[in-house]
């Protein structure tokens, strides 16, 4: 009997020595690292990604991950290192209540920032910030007892641990707007110096819902709205259109706005903070080609379209808040020779075709970019990871901001005022 009973005991002993099945987080991370390199690796050089370092970091984190929340956090950080503004982790329906691992951006302090060379400026302010003298044009010297530039760099690094940004300019723009937000009721200490040399300081409470930039700092007065767009004329009589998004009916919206604006000698087409969408590029551009004429761009021909196309001079205005289809919409004006483009910086550089892949655990899927939109842009490099650089970089001027003047609108009007 002894030898017979020894057999199952031996089997049990052997089974105990067998390797355990891999953790779901380890299996998912290994699959994702291989799949992302295969499908998106062509972006790595452009975006400055060291995938060997990413593999080491994420592999180590996955090995330590216990439970679905930790599993989710590993994947979120993996996509942050992919540097893809569209990328996201999509949990299965049963895991929709997982907590976001990044900083809580609940309420804002009542101001937005912008960068002018080495200086950090208050771009706009309202509520308690404005009442405390932290007004537009103020140079921010310190934030939370750190030099302003150092604080901003640290904030970018902190947010970039979990948020995926396609370019440095997109990350900086995010930090200057959404990135100033935090938990409701928390505070932000700000020290600044006004353009006339007066020192200002305030401890601002994060209690405002205004954390999303709208685009122009000081738009022309008396604008009308259509959907999320606005339009009218500047004081000097130029036409003005601000496109906040690019919906499917954008060509029809442009028809209505051009009809409302009427005859003008030039047009300011402002894309700042455009969040994208989806639209017919040829039909849209046709609204800016003289009736009965065509525009030959870079390998593309645009036919005039619409009842009242605008054939006069156009200046396009952008910033790093211009994303996705907003980048293709603004970019065709520059790339195809229809308009001069000015901007605070290049656009966000997150314009691409995407795919979704389910991970082996079936607990999560990943959504990420696989090819750049408008591959002909930027000398054949496309938009993703680069953006659309303006013909002329125009930073906000402190004196303009203090006087309630939008520097980019002022510069656009100067360009249109020059003889052609």
CA distance 99 to 69: 7
Q: Does residue 7 carry a pLDDT above 90? A: no
Question: What are the Cα distances from residue 56, in Å, to 61, 160, 229, 381?
Answer: 9, 18, 46, 29
Instruction: Give the confidence band of 37 by pLDDT, cuts at 50, 70, 90.
Output: very high
What average pLDDT does this structure show over 242-263? 98
Q: Does residue 10 carry a pLDDT above 70? A: no
The pTM score is 0.94
Are 150 and 276 in a shared domain?
no
Number of domains in the chain: 2
Specify if 39 maps to a domain: no
Are 193 and 286 in a shared domain?
no
Helices of type H across 189-280: 250-261
Are 254 and 163 in a shared domain?
no
CATH number at residue 247: 3.90.226.10
CB 71, CB 77: distance < 8 Å: no
Q: Give the pLDDT score at 420.
A: 66
Closest Cα to residue 181, out of 151, 207, 217? 207
CA distance 139 to 350: 30
Instruction: Give the confidence band of 15 by pLDDT, cuts at 50, 70, 90.
Output: very low
CB 275, CB 213: distance < 8 Å: no
Q: Does residue 279 carry a pLDDT above 70? A: yes
Digit-coded pLDDT (tens) for 322-357: 999 999 999 999 999 999 999 999 999 999 999 999
Q: Give the pLDDT score at 418.
A: 86
Dihedral in degrees, nearest 10, Cα atoms 310, 311, 316, 322? 50
Specify if 5 maps to a domain: no
Q: Are strands 119-125 and 88-91 parallel, antiparallel or unpaired?
A: unpaired
Residue where a domain stops, chosen among 175, 205, 235 = 205
Is the CA virtual torsion 185, 188, 193, 195 positive or negative?
Answer: negative
Are 261 and 398 in a shared domain?
yes
Given the structure tokens 């641990």, which residue do they identify?
161
Would you call 142 exposed, middle or buried from its count of C-beta atoms within 10 A (0-12, 13-18, 19+)? middle
On the CB side of 194, CA atoms within 13 Å amount to 13
Q: Does residue 6 carry a pLDDT above 90? A: no
Say how many C-beta atoms besides its own lie within 10 A of residue 268's C-beta. 26
Are 287 and 333 in a shared domain?
yes
Are 269 and 396 in a shared domain?
yes
Q: Give the pLDDT score at 210.
A: 84
Q: Does residue 1 carry a pLDDT above 50? A: no
Are 166 and 244 in a shared domain?
no
Contacts 24+ apart (CB under 8 A), 293-300: 295/336, 295/337, 295/338, 297/332, 297/335, 297/336, 297/337, 297/338, 298/335, 298/336, 298/376, 299/376, 300/336
Mean pLDDT lowest for which of 7-16, 82-91, 369-378?
Answer: 7-16
Are 241 and 304 in a shared domain?
yes
Range of the structural domain that residue 170 is part of: 111-205
Are 338 and 239 in a shared domain?
yes
Which structure tokens are listed for 183?
């938990």
Q: Give the pLDDT score at 209.
A: 84
CB 113, CB 401: distance < 8 Å: no
Say how many C-beta atoms besides its own lie within 10 A of residue 404's C-beta. 11
Specify if 219 maps to a domain: no
On the CB side of 47, CA atoms within 13 Å amount to 29
Q: Does residue 16 carry a pLDDT above 80? A: no
Instruction: Give the confidence band of 21 by pLDDT, cuts at 50, 70, 90.
Output: low
Q: Give the pLDDT score at 226.
A: 98
Specify if 277 maps to a domain: yes
CA distance 316 to 331: 9
Are 193 and 240 in a shared domain?
no
Closest Cα to residue 255, out of 302, 309, 332? 309
Specify if 64 maps to a domain: no
On the CB side of 85, CA atoms within 13 Å amount to 32
Size (the chain), residues: 420
CA distance 414 to 92: 53
Q: Does residue 26 carry a pLDDT above 80? A: yes
CB 39, CB 355: distance < 8 Å: yes
Specify if 3 maps to a domain: no
Q: Give the pLDDT score at 92.
A: 98
| Cα Dmax for the chain | 108
Digit-coded pLDDT (tens) for 133-173: 999 999 999 999 999 999 999 999 999 999 999 999 999 99
Digit-coded pLDDT (tens) for 91-134: 999 999 999 999 999 999 999 999 999 999 999 999 999 999 99
Are 201 and 231 in a shared domain?
no
Residue where a domain stops, chosen among 171, 205, 239 = 205
Each residue of 67-84: b (16+ CB within 10 Å) or e? ebeebbbbbbbbbbbbbb
Helices of type H across 67-210: 67-82, 127-131, 148-160, 168-176
Are 154 and 258 in a shared domain?
no
CATH number at residue 148: 2.30.42.10
Name the average pLDDT for the chain. 95
Q: Are strands 139-143 and 187-193 parallel, antiparallel or unpaired?
A: antiparallel
Share of the chain above pLDDT 90, in %: 93
Specify if 18 maps to a domain: no
Residue where a domain stops, chosen among 145, 177, 205 = 205
Specify if 98 maps to a domain: no
CB 124, CB 136: distance < 8 Å: yes
């Amino acid at each position: 009997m002894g030898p017979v009973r020894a057999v199952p005991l031996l089997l049990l002993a052997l089974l105990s020595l067998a390797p355990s099945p891999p953790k779901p987080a380890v299996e998912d991370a290994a699959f994702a690292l291989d799949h992302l390199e295969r499908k998106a690796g062509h972006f790595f050089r452009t975006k400055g990604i060291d995938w060997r370092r990413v593999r080491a970091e994420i592999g180590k984190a996955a090995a330590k991950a216990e439970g679905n929340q930790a599993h989710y956090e590993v994947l979120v950080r993996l996509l942050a290192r992919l540097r893809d503004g569209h990328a996201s982790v999509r949990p299965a329906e049963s895991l929709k209540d997982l907590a976001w691992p990044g900083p809580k951006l609940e309420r804002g302090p009542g101001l937005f920032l912008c960068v002018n060379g080495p200086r950090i400026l208050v771009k706009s302010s309202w509520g308690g910030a404005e009442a405390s003298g932290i007004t537009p044009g103020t140079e921010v010297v310190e934030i939370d007892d750190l030099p302003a530039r150092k604080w901003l760099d640290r904030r970018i690094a902190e947010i970039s641990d979990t948020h995926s940004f396609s370019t440095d300019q997109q990350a900086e723009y995010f930090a200057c707007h959404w990135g100033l937000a935090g938990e409701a009721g928390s505070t932000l200490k700000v020290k600044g110096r006004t353009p006339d040399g007066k020192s200002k300081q305030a401890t601002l409470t994060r209690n405002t819902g205004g954390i999303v930039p709208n685009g122009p700092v000081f738009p022309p007065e008396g604008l009308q709205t259509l959907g999320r767009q606005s339009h009218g004329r500047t004081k000097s009589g130029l036409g003005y259109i601000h496109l906040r998004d690019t919906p499917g009916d954008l060509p029809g919206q442009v028809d209505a706005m051009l009809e409302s604006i009427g005859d003008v000698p030039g047009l300011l087409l402002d894309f700042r903070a455009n969040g994208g969408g989806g639209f017919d590029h040829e039909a849209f551009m046709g609204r800016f080609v003289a009736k009965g004429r065509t525009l030959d761009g870079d390998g593309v021909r645009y036919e005039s379209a619409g009842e009242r196309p605008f054939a006069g001079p156009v200046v396009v205005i952008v910033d790093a808040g211009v994303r996705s289809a907003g980048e293709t919409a603004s970019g065709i004006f520059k790339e195809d020779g229809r308009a001069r483009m000015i901007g605070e910086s290049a656009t966000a550089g997150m314009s691409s075709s995407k795919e979704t892949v389910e991970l082996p655990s079936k607990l999560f899927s990943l959504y990420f970019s696989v090819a750049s939109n408008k591959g002909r842009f930027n000398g054949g490099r496309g938009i993703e990871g680069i953006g659309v650089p303006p013909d002329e970089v125009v930073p906000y001027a402190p004196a303009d901001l203090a006087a309630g003047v939008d520097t980019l609108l002022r510069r656009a009007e100067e360009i249109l005022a020059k003889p052609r």
